[in-house]
Structure 1
Amino acid sequence: MRQSTASRQRRGTRSLDAKGLEALALRYVGRYATSRAKLRDYLLRKIGEADWAGEAAPDPDALVARIAELGYVDDRAFAEQRAAALGRRGYGARRIGMAFRAAGIEAEDGEEALASAREGALDAALALARRRRVGPYAAEPLDRPARERAIAMLVRGGHDPGLARRIAMSEPGEIPET
C-alpha cells in the first residue's frame, strides 16, 4: 500500500541509501522465502516509496545478484519448495508452472521441479479430490452436474483433463490406479 503524501509529511520523508537498501533486502530474504524477481520487485517498490539519498543511482539488480551469489536467494531451491508445497495441496504441474511465472522463476530453474510435479500428478490430483470430497472421496456417487463441476475444479487445479475425468468419474472408495 502506497503512503499518501500527507502521511509522509507527518512522519517525515524517509530517505534511503545503498546501505539502507541492502539492509532492507537482507531483512526481506531473512523473513520470506523468495525468488530473485520477487526481491527485485520489493526493492524497486521500496526505492519508489522513499527519497533516494545515495550518491550513485540505486542499482537493485546488482544488489539482487550479490545476495543470490551469497546464497541467500536460490531460485532453484525456491521452485522445488514451492512445487512440493503446491503438490501437497493438490495442484498440478500446469498450476505450479503458473506460480513459477508469477514468482519470476526462469524455465531452467523450475524444470526439475515441474518434472517432479508431472511424475506425482496422480497423487496431487487425489489430494485435491480428497480436500474437495469428490470422486473416490465423495460420500455418495455424484450426479452428472456435480461430476462436471468436479472435473472443472481439477482442471483449474492444473491437472490434465483426462486424469481429472478419471478421478471425478470414480465411484466412492474406488481409487484409480496409475
Structure 2
Amino acid sequence: MREMALRYVGRFATSRAKLLDYLRRKIGEGGWGGAQPADPQALVDRLAALGYVDDSGYAVMKSAALARRGYGARRVDESLRAAGIAQADRTEADARTEAEGWDAAERFARRKRIGPFAAERPDPKLREKWMATFLRAGHRHALARRWVDAPPGEPPERDEG
C-alpha cells in the first residue's frame, strides 16, 4: 500500500483527502492481503508529515490554475472543498484568488469572447446567457455585469475597491 501511495503522490499533485479516497478505493477493489488490517489514514498522515502531501500548497496551486483559466472565487472555493481542503489550509489560496479576481474575469471574458472581446453588442437574450456563464464560472454578480455590459473593444475600468 505504501508503494501505491508513493507512486500516486509522485505522479499527481493531490490533497490528503484525495489520497485517502484513492487508497480506500484501491483497497476495496483489490482486497487487502496484509497480515494486519489496512490503515490508509495512518499512511496519509505519515506522508503528510514527511512533506509528500501538502494541502496548503495544493490549494495555492489549484486556485492559481483555476484563476489562470478565468474562474472566480466561488468556483475555486467549490473545487477546493471538493478536494477536501480544510478552511485553515485555504487562507493563502483565498487571498490570492480574491486579489486576482479582476484579472481572472478578464481572462474569462477574453476566452469566451464576452463584452469587450465580442464582435458586436449582444441582444438581451445573449446578454442573459453571458451573465449566466460568468456566474457559473464563480464571479461576483457586479463584476460579471461590468464585463458583460462593456461595449466591444472597450474593456471596463478596473475598480480599485
TM-score (norm 1): 0.87
C-alpha separation in 1, matches of 2:148 and 2:110: 11
Q: Which residue of 1 aligns with 2:11?
A: 31
Secondary structure of 1:131's match?
Answer: helix
C-alpha separation in 2, matches of 1:69 and 1:128: 37
C-alpha separation in 2, matches of 1:161 and 1:74: 33
**Identity across the alignment (%):** 54
C-alpha separation in 1, matches of 2:47 and 2:38: 15
C-alpha separation in 2, matches of 1:108 and 1:50: 34
Select which of 110, 115, 125 maps to 1:145. 125
Q: Does 1 or 2 have the higher relative contact order (CA < 8 Å, sep 6+)?
A: 2
Unaligned residue ranges in structure 1 (runs of 5+): 1-20
Aligned ranges for residues 27-176 of structure 1 at < 5 Å?
27-176=7-156
Secondary structure of 1:145's match?
Answer: helix
Q: Which has the higher Rg, Structure 1 or Structure 2?
A: 1
C-alpha separation in 1, matches of 2:89 and 2:48: 13
* Residue 173 of structure 1: how far off its partner (Å): 1.3
C-alpha separation in 1, matches of 2:31 and 2:12: 25
C-alpha separation in 2, matches of 1:32 and 1:176: 39
C-alpha separation in 2, matches of 1:143 and 1:119: 32
C-alpha separation in 1, matches of 2:18 and 2:75: 18
* Residue 51 of structure 1: how far off its partner (Å): 2.5
C-alpha separation in 2, matches of 1:174 and 1:51: 60
Unaligned residue ranges in structure 2 (runs of 5+): none
C-alpha separation in 2, matches of 1:34 and 1:123: 26
* Residue 114 of structure 1: how far off its partner (Å): 1.2
Secondary structure of 1:140's match?
Answer: coil
* Residue 52 of structure 1: how far off its partner (Å): 1.4
* Residue 166 of structure 1: how far off its partner (Å): 0.8
Secondary structure of 1:148's match?
Answer: helix
Q: Which residue of 2 aligns with 1:13?
A: none
RMSD: 0.8
Aligned residues: 158
